[in-house]
Amino acid sequence: MVSVEGSSIVYSAHTDSGNSGSPVLNSNNELVGIHFASDVKIDDNRNAYGVYFTPEIKKFIAENIDK
């Protein structure tokens, strides 16, 4: 991860068009967010962007998931 600010996460990863909605995993293979965009430039410093699962988002998911 490059940075986390509120519910936004920036990470260094190669992504392609159509990857929106894919899981974002940390180094422990834990789900930490959902991918939604990446830089247009194609080089080794390209960033990707996602929605970070804040404690509030995790709580909302836990309370609203069908069990």
Q: Which tens digit of pLDDT belongs to each residue from 9-20? A: 999 888 888 999
Instruction: Let me know: does 31 contact 53? Beta carbons within 8 Å.
Output: yes
Domain-wise residue ranges, the chain: 3-64
Predicted local distance difference test score (pLDDT) of residue 47: 87
Q: Choose which CATH entry (3.40.50.300, 2.60.120.620, 2.40.10.10, 1.10.20.140) describes domain 3-64.
A: 2.40.10.10
Q: Which tens digit of pLDDT belongs to each residue from 21-67? A: 999 998 999 999 999 998 877 766 778 999 999 999 999 999 999 86
